[in-house]
Amino acid sequence: MLELDPAANIKNELTELAIPPGSSIVGKQIVDLGLPPGILIVLLGRQGEFIVPGGSTVIEAGDRLLVLAPKDAFHALRDIIAGPIKTETTSV
């Protein structure tokens, strides 16, 4: 039986992160995100459904990711998610 002692020296956190429209990771497979070591996307919420993602899962705007990662890795992860915002340009 596995027991979790919250007072133990836990180095990881489980956090939900939202993917905003225009994020540079929208349309990319998880395997192509360049995630730092130790980061695991445990669950993906999309349009009221939950998906256990794999490396080939493509991220969409509005997805909500449940991420397990070392506490000190979340800043880098948020930078990857925010990234340079994609904008659509039109020529006239």
Whole domain around residue 67: which residue ranges?
12-82
Average pLDDT of the residues in 26-51? 93
Q: What percent of the chain has pLDDT over 70?
A: 79
CATH number at residue 73: 3.30.70.1450
The answer to whether position 3 is within a domain reads: no
- Longest distance between any two alpha carbons in the chain, whole Å: 65
Give the model confidence (pLDDT) of 54-75 as tens digits: 999 999 999 999 999 988 888 8
Position 5 in a domain: no
Total-model pTM? 0.75
- Across the chain, mean pLDDT equals 83
With respect to residue 56, please indicate whether it lies within any of the assigned structural domains: yes
Q: What pLDDT is stored for residue 44 in this prediction?
A: 97
Going by C-alpha positions, the residue among 18, 19, 9 that lies closest to residue 70 is: 9
Q: Domain for residue 91, yes or no? A: no
